[in-house]
Structure 1
Amino acid sequence: MKPLAGQISRQAALIAYVLIVLLPFTVMFFATFKSMAGLFQDPFGIPKSFAPSNYIELFRKEDMLVYFKNSGVVTFASVCFILFFSSMVAYGITRMPGRKAALLFALFSLGMTIPSQTSIIPLYILMSKLGLTNSQFGLILVETAFIIPIGVFILTGFMKTIPQELIEAAQMDGANEWYIYQRIAMPISLPSVATLAIFALMIVWNNLLLPLLLLKSKSVKTLPLKLLEFKGEYLTNYPQLFAAVVVISIPMIIMYVFLQRYFIEGVTAGSVKG
């Protein structure tokens, strides 16, 4: 009886947690089908109709496609750079002998302890002197630099579990380090790489501070900056703001659906392989 009661209590707690998490999203989603007057009259109620006027207006007047393109370019390029450089550094650390590997790993781990907010002034001065402000390429470089320490930390722990017998066998067959990295280390580390990819996607796609610091022109601004424009000095268009939040969240949901199998494997890999 006790195990059954414990299982029921855990399930009840899990259901309560899911409801608490879903409630704000449900209220926000319903609000996207309301007018401003309807939202203030009944903020928690079900809309009388589900006409997508706020979504249509969003793409008709607000140039959302331009912001989508900018965010897509910045996110895709940043994630590619993060995965490439993080995996190469992680593989190099696992192949280095003794204290050199520990020192290099500690150096990258130290990068995770420095909040981006504390470095915005020297960062802006540096990017300004390099002529990379108001530039998507400059933003991509900064996003990559801030997330690489986390990527090295995640991938190094996984690559250390790769059996040395595989690497030694490849070396005996004449394989060089690039071949081993490309054909052995990366395929085996795919779950961990997918975990890092989802993590980096969420950070870069939703990042507000760095684009706000570096981007000024509308032609290069990303989606988080667009959300700021819905807040006026005296009035905020909440239905369209919520509609924009829903639209911006869709790519992340789609990416997670496609990568969730690898994400779960990556999260549980340490306990399984240890």
Structure 2
Amino acid sequence: MIFRRFAVLIYALLVIIPITMVILTSMKTMSETFENPLGLPGEGVNIANYIDIFRSETMLGYFINSSVVTLASVSFTLMFAAMIAFAITRLTNWIGTIVFLLFTLGMMVPAQVNMVPLYNVVLQLGLTNSLLGLILVNISVTMPVAVFILTGFMKTLPKELFEASTIDGAGEWKMFTSVVIPLSLPSLSATAIFLFVMHWNDLLYPLLFITDNNYKTLPLALLEFQGQYATNYPMLFTGVMIASAPMVLAYIFLQRYFVAGMTAGAVKG
């Protein structure tokens, strides 16, 4: 018991200390950061860096781009993944197994392996330097993991529910919208948070497909604070705090569904 508490304490310190340093540095000036990197801000709580970022129209545009890409990617991925997972669940023959295995194989391919062929496809479609192209790439890349999670949950739903719906005269679409979706809300919420974090923090694909400043996302824009010879750490960490805020808020408001979704199917009655 003592060892477990000590391990938890060490883990908590490993998490809290870096977060605290990011928060404190975001409230410092450049001179304070280099003179006393581990100390407190000289002027106390200083939100000048946050004000400067929000006054910047370009940074606000980057935030909007990230919001559009993330919300659209998560919404369409969840919608299509839920349909595919329901279809796999309803296909009790070998076809459903083959389809599920194909999506599972998609999770095994590293993102770096897909970079060249994916770039060629997007380039031929004329979707480079566009939010639409980034959204389509995000959907295609994260679809396998979403299908994998949702299929695992839907397979735990009692078959009697489907049989009762069929007896009541419900078709597949009615069964999907009226029975499966309401029961899958915890799993859908957990998957949504998982996808939100992936898309919001994604740097690889914006770096690969976006070169126009008008379409840059927030993680890509944070690289602007890193120069060849110097890095503006206060502004960089301020941007990190702002970029992290939506994920923290999403988890706070969906925490109940997230915990329920992570434990769904673990215990069967």
TM-score (structure 1 length as normaliser): 0.95
* Higher deviation after alignment, 199-208 or 163-172: 163-172
The one-letter amino acid paired with 1:39 is T
1:45 aligns with 2:32: no
Measure the CA separation in 2 of the matches of 1:227 and 1:39: 18
The equivalent of 2:14 in structure 1 is: 20
1:89 corresponds to 2:84: yes
The whole-number CA distance in structure 2 between the counterparts of 1:61 and 1:82 is 32
Structure 1 counterpart SS, 2:225: coil
Counterpart of 2:60 in structure 1 is: 65
The answer to whether structure 1 residue 156 and structure 2 residue 151 are counterparts is: yes
Distance, in Å, in 2 between the alignment partners of 1:266 and 1:192 is 4
Matches within 5 A, 1:187-198: 187-198=182-193
User: 2:118 maps to what in 1?
Assistant: 123
Alignment of 1:110-189 (within 5 A): 110-189=105-184
Deviation per CA, 1:234-266: give whole Å up to 9, x if none. Answer: 211100000000011000000000111111111
Q: Structure 1 counterpart of 2:160, which letter?
A: E
Is residue 253 of structure 2 the alignment partner of residue 224 of structure 1? no
Aligned partners of 1:273, 1:257: CA distance in 2, in Å?
27
Match of 2:50 among 50, 55, 67: 55
TM-score, normalising length: structure 2: 0.97
Matched residue type, 1:116: A
Partners of 2:11 and 2:126 lie apart in 1 by 48
C-alpha distance after superposition, 1:154-212 (max 9, x if no partner): 01010011111111111111100001111111111111111110000000000001011
Task: Report what 2:249 is aligned to.
Answer: 254
Inter-partner Cα distance in structure 1 for 2:113 and 2:144: 16
Q: Return the alpha-carbon distance in structure 1 between the equivalents of residues 220 and 165 of structure 2.
A: 49
In structure 1, what is the equivalent of residue 27 of structure 2?
Answer: 33
Amino acid at match of 1:70: N
Deviation for aligned residue 1:62: 6.1
The letter for the 2-side match of 1:110 is L
Query: Counterparts of 1:234 and 1:80 in 2: how far apart (Å)?
Result: 41
**1:203 pairs with 2:198:** yes
Give the Cα separation in 2 of the matches to 1:273 and 1:26: 41
Find the aligned partners of 1:44 and 1:129 in 2 and give their Cα distance: 50
**Residue in structure 2 matched with residue 3 of structure 1 by the alignment:** none
Shift of 1:120: 0.9
Letter in 2 for 1:86: A
Q: Deviations over 1:90-141 (max 9, x none)?
A: 0000000221111110000000001111111111111111111111111101
- How far off its partner does 1:60 sit? 2.3
**Percent identity of paired positions between Structure 1 and Structure 2:** 50
Find the residue that maps to 1:63 and give its secondary structure: helix
1:27 alignment partner AA: M
3-state secondary structure, aligned to 1:184? helix
Unaligned 5+ residue runs, structure 1?
1-5
Aligned length, in residue pairs? 268
Deviation at 1:76, TM superposition (A): 0.5
Which position in structure 1 is the counterpart of 2:260? 265
